[in-house]
Structure 1
Amino acid sequence: MPTYNEAENLPRMAEALLALPLPGLRLLVVDDNSPDGTGEVAEELAARHNTADRTRVTVLHRTVKDGLGRAYAAGMDQAVAEGARYVLQMDADGSHPVEYVAQMLGTALATGAGVVIGSRYVAGGRLAEEWGAHRKLLSRWANGYVSAVLRTGLRDVTAGFAMWRADTVTAMRLSQVRSSGYSFQVELKFQAVRAGYTVVEVPIHFEERQIGMSKMTLAVQLESALLPWRMRWDAARARRH
């Protein structure tokens, strides 16, 4: 769970996640030196939930803020290094409801999928009711645009709610991922599809963030628009060689 200025959202999300009846579930918070004290809040959660014989919350403190993608890469690599069999990536802002976590894990176990996506755009999936028509249309267009360029066959390739099998994470070579922002989600799924891993989408109801503002900047949007073409070009060049 990557965080930047999520001090108000994190406790609510962490408590809901840790209350799930999933043996062995652990929460790794990756904080990018949040000025609002999110890192300290995460440490308080660790102190509250960890015992001498059981660790439930760990915190990775990063000293620089160099993008959501870098935070995810650092956290996912650390989770696998610490022995995780499955790695769930999800936001701290409440947009990814924890009640879908058990279903996503069950789907991964039942199908053997390398990746299970909490999808807004398969049958049964929904966007936040607070979103206006323009925002919903833009989100759907962005997914359609990326899918058309990369030909992944996925309905929600930009989703940030995904369950990864540990060996799939290792195969992605996260240290070599070029995306620093939200397009990390696209790049990683594209790599998984190209590598032949089974990717399954399950429907979710995507919620509006509970507190605070979105961190989607113009620079992030430009990166997200251009990266699919760069990835397609690189894939084509690799096939030629």
Structure 2
Amino acid sequence: MDAAKQNFAVIIPAKNEELSVAAVVTAFFAAFRSLNCPVDVIVVDDHSDDATRIRADAAGARVIALTEKGGLAEAFRSGTVAALAAGAEYIVQVDADGQYSAEDLPRLVSRALVGGDLVLGNRLWRRPDGMSATRYFANCAFSRLVAGLSLVSIADSQSGYRIFTRQVAVDCPIATDYTYTQEQVLRAGRAGFAVSDVPVTFSVRQHGTSRLIPSVVKYSWRVILSVHAVCRSLGIPAHCLLGRAAAAILLELRCSWGRYRCTREL
């Protein structure tokens, strides 16, 4: 399938990212130009109190401002609705903080064009610089849990860098207000869509601070509650969730021990 004949959109949720959003917008415009593809870049501003909207608009993005309810999930929903209304056939979602690279875009697009309905950018093929061992363990364990519940083979269900088809966007709407990344994987996998991932780079944040994971424990608890709610809506029994969670933690502990031993031997 020829990328140049497809309609693409990029949605970029942003809150107080005035120092990075313009560079992200510019990089993705350039990446799509290299693919000879027109693209609709949509920045969804989540009640920023800095110059995020001004910088995004100056860089050429279409800016949508959330008016009432906020949060990443609502920004993702609003951006997806806008992309669908504009006729997008493939939708890329990426964070505004500049930690993901537009240079990895061709890899995601290529996988999508050969039948990937939802393609995730996998940060966790190694521990990224700046990611603590505890956070890396939690990310890997949750990804194993979501992969098992979704009946798909992926390694990073939390990734904020992904591409998905119009059909996935229509058939798998996001209902929760927190773990939209995991929810999309769960719904797409259970619906029979082709879900996969490709390795991507993940850089240390240069500006600002993350608003998503102030505490690994707090984040983990909120994820568990949200995943449980999604599982209930999909008819997945609670005992299945608990069994998969225990298996994911044990398997990741085993893998972590293996990585530790390899490091010691080196």
Q: Compute the TM-score of the two structures, normalised by the length of structure 2.
A: 0.76
What pairs with 1:113-124 in structure 2 (closer than 5 Å)? 113-121=116-124
**For residues 44 and 189 of structure 2, what CA distance do their matches in structure 1 show?**
26
Instruction: Note if contact 1:6-1:93 (Cα within 8 Å) is conserved in structure 2.
Output: yes
Match of 2:177 in 1: 180
Counterpart mapping for 1:60-71 below 5 A: 60-64=64-68, 66-71=70-75
Specify the code of the residue in structure 2 equivalent to 1:59: V
Structure 1 Cα separation of the partners of residues 151 and 118 of structure 2? 17
Residue 196 (structure 2) pairs with residue 200 (structure 1): yes
Distance 1:128 1:38 in 2: 27
Q: For structure 2, which runs of at least 5 residues remain unmatched after alignment?
A: 1-11, 238-266
Superposed structure 1 runs of 4+ greater than 4 Å apart: 148-152, 217-221
Matched, 1:87 2:91: yes
Counterpart contact for 2:143–2:157, Cα < 8 Å: yes
* 2:109 alignment partner, SS class: helix
| 1:3 aligns to 2:14 (yes or no) | yes
Q: TM-score, normalised by structure 1?
A: 0.83
- Highest RCO, 1 vs 2 (Cα 8 Å, sep ≥ 6): 1
Match of 1:40 in 2: 54
Pairwise CA RMSD of aligned residues?
Answer: 2.1
Letter aligned with residue 136 of structure 2: K
Task: Give the secondary-structure state (helix, strand or coil) at the position aligned to 1:93.
Answer: coil
1:161-204 CA-to-partner distances (Å, cap 9, x unmatched) read 110111221112x3xx32212x1111111111111111121111
Partners of 1:45 and 1:178 lie apart in 2 by: 31
Tell me if the contact between 2:139 and 2:156 (Cα under 8 Å) persists in the aligned partners.
no
Following TM superposition, by how much is the alpha carbon of 1:150 offset from its aligned partner in structure 2, in angstroms?
5.2
2:94–2:162 Cα contact (<8 Å) kept: yes
Contact 1:126 1:206 in 2 (8 A): no
3-state SS of 2:59 partner? helix
- Structure 2 match to 1:157: 157
- Structure 1 residue aligned with 2:243: none
Unaligned 5+ segments in structure 1 are: 47-56
Q: Which residue of 2 aligns with 1:191?
A: 187
- CA distance in 2: counterparts of 1:33 and 1:137, whole angstroms: 32
* Structure 1 segment 49-60 matched on structure 2, within 5 A: 57-60=61-64
Residue 188 of structure 1 aligns to a residue whose secondary structure is helix
C-alpha deviation, 1:84, in angstroms: 1.2
State the SS of the aligned residue for 2:131.
coil
Q: Percent identity?
A: 26
Q: Number of residue pairs matched?
A: 220
